[in-house]
Amino acid sequence: MGIHVIKMPDLGEGIAEVEVVAWHVQPGDVVKEDQVLADVMTDKATVEIPSPVAGTITSLGGAIGQSLAVGAELIRLEVAGAGNLKDKGAASQEPARTVAATAPAEEVAEPQLAAVAANEASAVAPAPASRPAPAARPAPVSKGAPQLRAEGEKPLAPPAVRQRAWDLGVELQFVAGSGPAGRITHADLDAHVAGHRGGAANGGPDERYAEQHGEHATQVIGLRRKIAEKMQEAKRNIPHFTYVEEVDVTELEALRLQLNARYGAERGKLTLLPLLMRAVVLALRSYPMMSARYDDDKNLLTTYDAAHIGIAAQTDNGLMVPVVRHAESRDPWSSAAEISRLADAARTGKATRDELTGSTITITSLGALGGIVTTPVINRPEVAIVGVNRIVDRPVIRDGAMVARKMMNLSSSFDHRVIDGMVAAQFVQAIRGYLEFPATLFVE
């Protein structure tokens, strides 16, 4: 038997290190040749690492979330034959690093979600002892023993407590009182709302108001960590400013519905996004500095004749930005097909590195989820991002009459180091012009 060491391969494009995001094997597992051992992340692309040999896993080279340099030991197997580890004596004295030996305790724990505290029931603080009642009156109910009143008996409470109960939606009939003659105090009401005392007619706890004390820790790794780093870099390095303009998309929506009715069966259905992409492409011809990337270190702004438009897409793993390359050469149906293909690849984790890099301007949309205005973060090193908000029917004054129109806001952010406010406003107004007069989208 021999030892075979699998090292982190060179994945190309100047990648010096990768992050381990998933292990598919554990020490003691028997694996076959070409079986996937681990997933590693480079920038935004996840790469599977297969086994070149069959054998038994003896150790792992790192914890989930740990970065490994290219050439570092990834995994060690016991194989039939000599293996590829030449100095077996040295290997026996200095075994490969294992997850348990090298990773901090926090990383060895379950990486996704670890419950660090459980729900606990709070104990009711003891109430002060009751005062003796005057001899001429019946003895009051003890403050330390709140009780519910008999059926049909009206609850006793001062006006301030009644008002609070009304505001909270609490029926005083079901609140136990600890004051004289069962009078309900503010403390009784607080205890009832908190779920410590009878919340129902039978005096049982009301779980709707029960206190919760759970805490949960989630290790930020993989794509989520990359997103955090990218966002932090963008906000730290780019002085953002956001410009919002409302757009009347009544005619655009009418055209979209007409195109879908006429060509949808053979060319596919159009959403708003391909039409917006075409408007951005046409606007870039007048404002080419928007299709650009800014090098902070060299203070170099590179503009591109091509429009490689990134489309921010939400996936189960986090935010990804697949790129529609050469959008200037695509009609709306070609753009729609490419958007659909890229979105599916991103959601299923099959998008390649080339499909997730190289954009020159980005479009982001939360329109389907609602929202009036957003302040999108620029996809560094780009200098502009166009955000789409929801379409709403609103009354608008046109020719002196109030009419219902479909209105949508564009929320766009720009890098103020290289884009002046007036230029940014002109760029958005150019997009608005194409969207409000959609026939111009098809006129060169």
Closest Cα to residue 256, out of 391, 438, 434?
438
248 an active-site residue? Answer: no
Contact 46, 109 (CB under 8 A): no
The end-to-end CA distance of the chain, in Å, is 71
Residue 298 CA to residue 129 CA, distance in Å, equals: 77
- Region of 100 please: left (phi>0), alpha (psi -120 to 50) or beta: alpha
Token pair of 192 as six digits: 């009832």
Task: Name the active-site residue from 34, 305, 331, 420.
Answer: 420
Task: Name the active-site residue from 24, 186, 240, 416.
Answer: 416
Residue 318 CA to residue 304 CA, distance in Å, equals: 28
Tell me how crowded residue 32 is: count the other CB atoms within 10 A of its CB. 10
391's enclosing H/E stretch is strand 384-398
- In sequence order, which residues have a C-beta less than 8 Å from that of residue 317 and are 6 or more positions away? 222, 223, 224, 349
Spell 258-273 as b/e; 16+ CB within 10 A means b: ebeeeeeeebeebbbb
420 an active-site residue? Answer: yes
Tell me whether strands 401-415 and 240-248 are parallel, antiparallel or unpaired: antiparallel
Active site residue ranges = 416, 420
